[in-house]
């Protein structure tokens, strides 16, 4: 194996596969990155118990400026290898596999000789059945992830809730996440598809996937097997295990009747909650209170140790009964950020029942639900 190529182009691929590599694995070879050099280009692979990422750098890629002298494969320790490549002095580098699984890395006057591992011992990636597939743009998939993944549970006591639930049926794709204190649900219409599925993808996998896309306009082909899902673009294969078990029926959690409704501009409300939470974050109870009546809307933040804040809010419209409600401002800020610069309607039932946030634009099938905090 011997190849000369552009350092920055190589580093970009290396950074992508390294998202799947963990130093805590009990399988030593998985702390490394697998390099497979063929006449068509260089394949890099990283893997852990949850995700595997494979990228391909083509010999025809002008940025790579690749010259292949001899094909072959090796596994190199990812942490040291990445640091070496990043700190090489020249724009180009050469990798050469010599005897005893050793690799010479050279660039300019710098010369490293590092020990590798036999690539034949590297675990094989899952075999995915390409029959159960559908396609989305990376931009749409990224938006689905950003609108839901922050609501997954961070606790392993209910593993199924650490993932996002995806359901495809009747040409509609539903994505929903909940940690039992809040819920995020988005539904989009996709093109004609005869496929249907019901899967739960770990939230951590989706966060890494979202960071791995290079071009938001590239098409992502999604293929599903019994316990794996593959997200495939032209230059990357991203595998994730699926969570086992039945996701709870979240439809029954979303209320349909309300006593109070109020419309806000998202950036205005987000800024006000941010200010109110400055003091509440300093106290033992991270709570902000909203008081709504037909005459005014006031937000309160309080810390017995520091002081309190009170602000009269601008709103677009309010209907229904007066209500005082307390909530976790971090949950509210995360929900509001997922909407972007639009107007939303917040609907309340009572001070102790979950409330919903939805775009005022009925065409956007997106809902957030937050459980209030009891203060008495």
Domains 133-248 and 254-370 share a fold: no
The pLDDT tens digits for 288-310 are 999 999 989 999 988 777 888 89
pLDDT confidence band for 285 (50 / 70 / 90): confident
Interatomic CA distance for residues 202 and 319, integer angstroms: 39
CATH code, 133-248: 3.10.150.10
Q: Which regions of 48-137 does DSSP assign to beta strands (E)?
A: 51-58, 67-70, 72-77, 92-97, 102-107, 110-117, 133-137
Q: What is the pLDDT of residue 21?
A: 94
CATH superfamily of the domain spanning 2-121: DNA Polymerase III, subunit A, domain 2 (3.10.150.10)
Pairing of strands 92-97, 67-70: unpaired
Identify the CATH class of 254-370: alpha beta
**Encoded tokens for 351:** 């001070």
Angle at 237 between CA 228 and CA 244, to 5 degrees: 15
pLDDT confidence band for 284 (50 / 70 / 90): low
For residues 26-54, give the mean pLDDT: 94
> Measuring CA to CA, which residue among 237, 312, 324, 235 is closest to residue 275?
312
* Residue 210 confidence (pLDDT) above 80: yes
For residues 219-239, give the mean pLDDT: 92
The pLDDT tens digits for 45-95 are 999 978 999 999 999 999 999 999 999 999 999 989 999 999 999 999 999
- Largest CA-CA distance found in the chain, in angstroms, rounded: 81
Interatomic CA distance for residues 359 and 342, integer angstroms: 7
* Residue 283 confidence (pLDDT) above 60: no
End-to-end Cα distance, the chain: 70
Domain regions of the chain by residue span: 2-121, 133-248, 254-370
Helix axes 78-86, 7-18, angle to 10 degrees: 150
Backbone angles phi, psi at 289, to 5 degrees: -115, 140
């Amino acid at each position: 194996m011997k190849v000369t190529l552009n350092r920055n182009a190589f580093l970009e691929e290396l950074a992508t596969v390294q998202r799947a590599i963990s130093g805590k694995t009990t399988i030593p070879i998985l702390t490394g990155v697998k390099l497979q050099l063929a006449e068509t280009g260089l394949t890099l692979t990283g893997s852990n118990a949850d995700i595997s990422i494979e990228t391909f750098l083509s010999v025809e890629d002008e940025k790579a400026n690749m010259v292949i002298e001899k094909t072959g494969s090796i596994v190199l320790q990812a942490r040291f290898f990445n640091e070496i490549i990043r700190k090489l002095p020249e724009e180009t580098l050469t990798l050469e596999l010599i005897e005893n699984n050793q690799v010479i890395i050279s660039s300019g006057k710098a010369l490293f000789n590092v020990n590798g591992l036999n690539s034949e011992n590297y675990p094989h990636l899952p075999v995915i059945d390409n029959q159960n597939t559908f396609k989305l743009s990376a931009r749409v998939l990224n938006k689905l992830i950003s609108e839901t993944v922050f609501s997954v549970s961070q606790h392993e006591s209910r593993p199924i809730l650490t993932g996002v639930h995806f359901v495809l049926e009747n040409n509609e794709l539903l994505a929903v996440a909940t940690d039992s204190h809040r819920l995020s649900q988005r539904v989009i219409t996709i093109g004609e598809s005869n496929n249907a599925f019901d899967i739960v993808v770990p939230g951590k996998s989706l966060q890494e996937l979202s960071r791995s896309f290079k071009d938001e306009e590239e098409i992502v082909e999604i293929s599903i097997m019994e316990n794996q899902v593959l997200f495939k673009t032209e230059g990357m294969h991203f595998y994730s295990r699926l969570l086992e078990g039945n996701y709870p029926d979240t439809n029954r959690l979303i209320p349909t009747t309300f006593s109070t409704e109020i419309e806000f501009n998202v950036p205005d409300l987000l800024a006000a909650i941010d200010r109110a939470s400055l003091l509440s974050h300093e106290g033992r109870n991270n709570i902000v209170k909203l008081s709504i009546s037909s005459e005014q809307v006031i937000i309160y933040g309080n810390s017995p140790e520091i002081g309190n804040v009170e602000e009269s809010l601008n709103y677009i419209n309010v209907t229904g009964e007066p209500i005082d409600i307390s909530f976790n401002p971090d949950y509210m800020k995360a929900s509001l950020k997922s909407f972007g610069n639009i107007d939303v309607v917040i609907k309340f039932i009572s001070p102790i029942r979950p409330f919903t946030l939805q775009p005022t634009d009925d065409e956007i099938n997106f809902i957030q639900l937050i459980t209030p905090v009891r203060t008495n």
